[in-house]
Structure 1
Amino acid sequence: MSSISSNTVWIDSPWRSARCSIQARGKEVNGTMLASFSGLFLLILILASFRLTHLLVYDDITAPLRRLFVTTTIVTLDHGQQAVQHEVAPKGPRRWLGMLFTCHWCMGVWSSLILTLLWLFVPYAIWLLVILAVAGAAAIIETIVLRL
């Protein structure tokens, strides 16, 4: 960070010559904005990331999006049990996206990054995060209740 003024943190961008401004959402401590990530915000971000990841990787509503990058077939194993087999494109961006849509760990990293950047750069994105977080908490509670 090159300079700090009242409520704005200026960051030199290596990708362009102009500077970009991030409105600080909290106190600045030791020249970083990490202190603005309160425990509550971190919980909201975790739950929102969980829900977005699950939505993109597993939910039926996003199956048409996944089909653009992944071919899914159900195969019957030797002992009669069925398994889901995913096949991604052999190369290029479709392969990368196909791999992403079949790996919840990978999608979780990108979901977290996207949601954090939304929070930083989009003024009302916190409402999307809250909605996803509530849905994520509801999904976890439902899973617990079903196992009782």
Structure 2
Amino acid sequence: MDINFLDIILLALACFRLTRLIVFDKITEFLRTPFFDEIEEENEEGMIEVYYSPKSTPVKKFFGELLSCYWCTGVWVSTGLVLGFLYLSTLFMPIILIAAIAGLASILESLLQIWID
């Protein structure tokens, strides 16, 4: 196994970005929808708040809980990225590089927003 420090940084940034993409981003909502029930409640100010609860069937509940947990999804994403990097590097390196650059860009954007505000 030959992973250097730069590879670890790239893998970490790629894992960060892909995990956020799966768990939070609107563009992948269609992947999460089959595993969640949408619950709407009115808060004290009269505004509607939407909550997502994993469905009750065993398989859908398992994936719903997995997709609602950033840490759990991150373990599986990092496992896939590392295995892909080690055994299918030619195929996975462009994906890792693109996700790592997007991850770093999102971190920089978040820092910039904090600095501006």
The one of the two structures with greater contact order (alpha-carbon pairs below 8 A, sep at least 6) is 2
Measured in 1, the distance between the counterparts of 2:48 and 2:4 equals 45
User: Where does the alignment leave 5 or more consecutive residues of structure 1 unmatched?
Assistant: 1-32
> 2:66 maps to which residue?
100
Shift of 1:84: 3.6
Q: Are 1:113 and 2:105 counterparts?
A: no
Q: Are 1:44 and 2:10 counterparts?
A: yes
- Structure with larger Rg: 1
> 2:104 maps to which residue?
137
Counterpart code for 2:53 = E
Counterpart code for 1:106 = C
Q: RMSD in angstroms over aligned alpha carbons?
A: 1.6
Measured in 1, the distance between the counterparts of 2:75 and 2:66 equals 10
Shift of 1:80: 4.3
Measured in 2, the distance between the counterparts of 1:72 and 1:59 equals 16
> 2:93 maps to which residue?
126
Q: Are 1:56 and 2:28 counterparts?
A: no
Matched position secondary structure for 2:51:
strand
Query: What number of residue pairs does the alignment pair up?
Result: 114
Matched position secondary structure for 2:89:
coil
Measured in 2, the distance between the counterparts of 1:138 and 1:55 equals 14
Matched position secondary structure for 1:109:
helix
Shift of 1:111: 0.7
Q: Which has the higher strand share?
A: 1
Measured in 2, the distance between the counterparts of 1:110 and 1:141 equals 25
Measured in 2, the distance between the counterparts of 1:82 and 1:70 equals 18
